[in-house]
Structure 1
């Protein structure tokens, strides 16, 4: 799969916006900054979180490329591999955050801190079902991991059931589910713990990836875009508008090989570490909130400077854990899973 610099940029920008959204939502530094820059903090809180829609579209785009032209005769293998890709570093991040919260809880005294985890909490998170059973999340990004996995499962099941009838039928099936999400499911807030609520954005990403495969797939994508505009006319949603713009840009952007410059390599590394950053930055917020309280700070400028430093630390931690933990663990687990499946099929 050819690497797209556009996708890298989307992932980096979206990840940083999500981090700053959480900096505006949690901690005493946010309260101090609100006194000096209320409009900025309000914007970060209300709108920066919409960057999740970019992640959803990009996630669908990359997932569609990974399954394109591949037979889905063994969907369980693809689903299990996705689970191995998402969950090990996720559980490690939750363990790290839970430890940090346990150590610093008495220095923060805030209701936004998660409760002390039990074994059932961890088990529900490990199985990616904590929201389905209304179990308190152990971190701010836990919900997204579960939704990402659900969406991938839906895509793989669609591929498995519809591929035998041809790629055109598969494209139409994805488009129909995407449109159903836009026009109905995405308008029901109570469904936001299920993949069907988010398939509007994810499906646009899938169809965008397939749009350059053939004239038929391109037509399916653009018809879906028109139906998305209709869904926005019925009920305008900023999140769907952003998803639509992202998908259209991924489609119309000319495909070309990346000429790697030092700056593009930095963006590439930051994009690769975006998932770990997403998982771990809440722990950094906890640490710096405790430092703020221990230091008895109150000045908004100090709060902004300390938040900027915390942001840099979160990005650095994400890069470090991606390269020193996520990559080697993923490679080892992938190798072991291949050996296991070889034994089972022989």
Structure 2
């Protein structure tokens, strides 16, 4: 477990916190109150902190590429189902908790950012990660990313299955071509932002960054792709693509090294591991604290900032608790059961 890059852990932790603060700035009466005294801060969090999603996309591609780098994907459906089972249980649990929090808080929050009471079909669309594709209202702020991450993994697995037989070079070139197409064209079409192809530029850069360390050819593929990414910026500048390029290049040029695991670095590692659960649950914390603020009749921006900071700490703590006490045990149980099932199917 501790062999993973500490750099990746730092990227995940920082990006997760920025996303949480972006949503604190976007939703709730506390944000409106803080905006009275610190409008520039709230504006920066709302407009710029959300760019941290690009870090998750690059790192997601980087980690996914490592997971398939030394494996032959002969059964893509099994790999896809395993990924779904990795994402879905804690995802559905947190959606249920958020739905409950929204129901209990609805009487005290009169705002258009609060989701409507879900229907069964709406919940079902979320369960299968197709809510955006079907035009269904989201039940939480982070669910769109889970669906996109799953789509991106499916694309990578299919590419591996189709191209691995032609050799690792063919696979690298296939990923690079799709990455360049995304950066140069698809990522410029806003209507495509519910599809993996819109985000594959950042994700593909992460994939190629992971593979760049295994051979000179793969390193060359990455640098040519990055150069073409700079060209895509010249055609149409996008801050999100610029950030993705910087993160991918840093992951590529940083030398491999053994990490000396100090207590602080172990804390960062735990926070990085719980980033997914934090990403899923923090909207529910925002809902609960917004209802508390509305019933307290506070009006002071300093008080709003202090309460938001406390809510942030609660969100981080809840993410850690659910990750270590719920997500990990459930994942181990499902992994064991699914492994037995897949062995029966493939034998």
Query: TM tier, shorter chain?
Result: over 0.9
Look up the match of 1:13: 14
C-alpha distance in 1 between matches for 2:342 and 2:202:
33
Look up the match of 1:178: 179
Give matches, 1:72-111, under 5 Å. 72-111=73-112
Look up the match of 1:262: 263
- Deviation per CA, 1:229-282: give whole Å up to 9, x if none: 000000000000000000000001111111100000000000000000000000
1:345: Cα distance to partner? 2.5
Look up the match of 1:154: 155
Tell me the TM-score normalized by structure 2: 0.99
Tell me the TM-score normalized by structure 1: 0.99
Local SS of the residue matching 2:237? coil
Segments of 4+ moved more than 6 angstroms: none
C-alpha distance in 2 between matches for 1:253 and 1:32:
42
C-alpha distance in 2 between matches for 1:88 and 1:302:
36
C-alpha distance in 2 between matches for 1:342 and 1:151:
26
- Deviation per CA, 1:139-198: give whole Å up to 9, x if none: 000000000000000000000000000000000000000000000000000000000000
C-alpha distance in 2 between matches for 1:283 and 1:135:
19
Look up the match of 2:25: 24
Look up the match of 2:197: 196
Local SS of the residue matching 1:36? coil
C-alpha distance in 1 between matches for 2:251 and 2:45:
25
What is the aligned residue count? 346
Structure 1: tracts of 5 or more residues without a match? none
- Deviation per CA, 1:93-141: give whole Å up to 9, x if none: 0000000100110011111000101111111001000000100000000
- Deviation per CA, 1:25-59: give whole Å up to 9, x if none: 00000000000000000000000000000000000
> What value does the CA root-mean-square deviation take over the aligned residues?
0.7
Look up the match of 2:299: 298
Give matches, 1:115-264, under 5 Å. 115-264=116-265
Look up the match of 2:320: 319
Local SS of the residue matching 2:48? helix
Structure 2: tracts of 5 or more residues without a match? none
Look up the match of 1:339: 340
C-alpha distance in 1 between matches for 2:346 and 2:276:
32
